Amino acid sequence: MQPSSQQALVLRIDAKVCHVEIGGETRQLPLAGKLFEDRSHEKRPLAVGDRVLLDTTGRAIDAVLPRSSQLHRRAASEGEERAQVVAANITHVLAVASVASPPFQPELVDGILAAAARERIPASLVLTKIDLAPDEAKRWSAAYAHAGVRVLATSTAEGHATEDTLRELGVLLHQNRTVVSGLSGAGKSSLLNTLVPGVKLRTGSLNHIRQGRHTTTHTELLALPGGGHVLDTPGVRNFHLFCTGSQELQFLFPEISTLLPSCEYRSCLHADEANCAVRSAVERGELAASRYRSYRTMLRHALEAEDPTAQPGRDSGRGGGRRRPRRR
Ligand SMILES: Nc1nc2c(ncn2[C@@H]2O[C@H](COP(=O)(O)OP(=O)(O)OP(=O)(O)O)[C@@H](O)[C@H]2O)c(=O)[nH]1
Ligand SMILES: [Mg+2]
Ligand SMILES: [Zn+2]
């Protein structure tokens, strides 16, 4: 007889089956209806990286165990907001972005970094394809280092491989369960092919990318021979935060939150308030304009979600009563 409540690790989820690892073996299990009864705010009932309990037959998933962490984003769905859990039980997030081909997209990177910060998961930025645009790489490295983000500038192109940063990244991967996320064509799978011995993930051609097609179509959890796990994911076009309040946002941008005590208003949202230290820092070039733009876009979405009747274009929906100047 099968022992009850065997534990398994979710490696990959297809439309109807889920690939799990159990006692060193991989098994494919059906995605049973019972799983869909709970977690109603989530688009799917389980995510790659989840630990699950199997039923007594060992042929179906009975329950999902509580997660130690999750990286999630707002699912592109109609009506009520839903969360798409990109990865579960992870200890590190890598926002992967190419400096050219496709061009660097700050809002996407900032969305991933903010989502990780919200869950208190350490995150780093990996710049890829620096062989194609070294100056862009320097510019973005400086902007993010200034924002307190660990940046690894890499190239995996033949003859241009950045040995030192690739080695540094390899060490990080061995120490963690890492999820890589970024735009399609950024070079996520190429990076893992270089870093993980024996792995041969499919990588895309530039034509493929220009047509807006993804090469990686499923999230997949890979065990690294020297320890650690990494999750390769399909490319994303955007990374909108799920249910994040307007007051919470500034704390997801460390370089913004440190300036808050210098703003005149305690409840300053750093939009159009008078004597805002954040806006002044942007004007003086001390805070990256692109980071501030990302913050403002997220703030607009958050305020719209909090007050759907607010007029479009009105950036800040703060109540007048909450605007209390500090005592100086
Ligand atoms: N020049 C250059 N090209 C690179 C580098 N890294 C990746 N590429 C190319 O970029 C293209 C896309 O790489 P992929 O690894 O498939 O990108 P991906 O992020 O996994 O894409 P999706 O799976 O669609 O999300 C491929 O043609 C790679 O050869 C690099 O460092 N330099
Ligand atoms: Mg890929
Ligand atoms: Zn302010």
171-208 residue pLDDT tens: 999 999 999 999 999 999 999 999 998 888 989 877 76
Q: What is the per-residue pLDDT across 205-254, written as a single tens digit (0 to 9) for each? A: 777 666 667 888 899 999 998 899 999 999 999 999 998 999 999 999 99
**Number of residues in the chain:** 328
Q: Which long-range contacts (CB under 8 A, 24 or more apart) does 313-317 make?
A: 315/271, 315/272, 316/269, 316/271, 316/272, 316/273, 317/246
Predicted confidence (pLDDT) at residue 91 exceeds the cutoff of 90: yes
CATH no. of 7-66:
2.30.30.140
Confidence band of 314 (pLDDT split at 50, 70, 90)? very low
Q: Give the strands of the sheet with 51-54, arranged side by side.
A: 25-30, 17-22, 7-13, 51-54, 61-64
Q: Which of 95-99, 134-138, 158-162, 324-328 has the lowest mean pLDDT?
A: 324-328
Domain spans of the chain, in order of start:
7-66, 86-232, 246-322
Residues 6+ apart with CB under 8 A from 256: 250, 270, 278, 287, 291, 292, 295
What is residue 237's predicted lDDT score, i.e. its pLDDT?
92
Q: Which amino acid is at 26?
A: T
Spacing, Cα 233 to ligand 2 middle (Å): 7
Predicted confidence (pLDDT) at residue 319 exceeds the cutoff of 50: no
Q: Is 204 in the pocket of ligand 1 (CB under 6 A)?
A: yes
Predicted confidence (pLDDT) at residue 2 exceeds the cutoff of 60: no
Report yes or no: 20 and 60 within 8 Å, Cβ to Cβ.
Answer: no
Q: Is 128 in the pocket of ligand 1 (CB under 6 A)?
A: yes
Q: Residue 40: phi, psi to the nearest 5?
A: -65, -25
Q: Is 155 in the pocket of ligand 1 (CB under 6 A)?
A: yes
Supply the mean pLDDT for the chain: 89
Q: What is the per-residue pLDDT across 5-24, written as a single tens digit (0 to 9) for each? A: 799 999 999 888 899 999 88
Distance CA 170, CA 67 (A): 25
Block residue for tokens 């759907």: 308
Question: Domain 246-322 - what CATH class?
Answer: mainly alpha
What is residue 308's predicted lDDT score, i.e. its pLDDT?
77
What is residue 311's predicted lDDT score, i.e. its pLDDT?
55
What percent of the chain stands above pLDDT 90?
72
Q: Which of 34-38, 74-78, 253-257, 273-277 has the lowest mean pLDDT?
A: 34-38
End-to-end CA distance of the chain: 73
Pocket test for ligand 1, best of 203, 206, 209 (most atoms within 8 A of CB): 203
What is residue 212's predicted lDDT score, i.e. its pLDDT?
66
| C-alpha separations of 1 from 6, 20, 26, 57, 61 in Å | 12, 21, 20, 8, 17
Q: Is 186 in the pocket of ligand 1 (CB under 6 A)?
A: yes
Predicted confidence (pLDDT) at residue 271 exceeds the cutoff of 50: yes
Pocket test for ligand 1, best of 86, 109, 190, 215 (most atoms within 8 A of CB): 190
Q: How far is CA 150 from the centre of its chain?
A: 15
Q: Is 219 in the pocket of ligand 1 (CB under 6 A)?
A: no
DSSP three-state, residue 126: strand
Predicted confidence (pLDDT) at residue 118 exceeds the cutoff of 90: yes
CATH 3.40.190.10 corresponds to the domain 86-232: no
Predicted confidence (pLDDT) at residue 152 exceeds the cutoff of 50: yes
Confidence band of 313 (pLDDT split at 50, 70, 90)? very low
Q: Centre a 10 Å sphere on the Cβ of residue 319 and count the other Cβ atoms it contains.
A: 8
What is residue 204's predicted lDDT score, i.e. its pLDDT?
86
Q: Counting ligands in written order, which one lies closest to the CA of residue 316?
A: 3
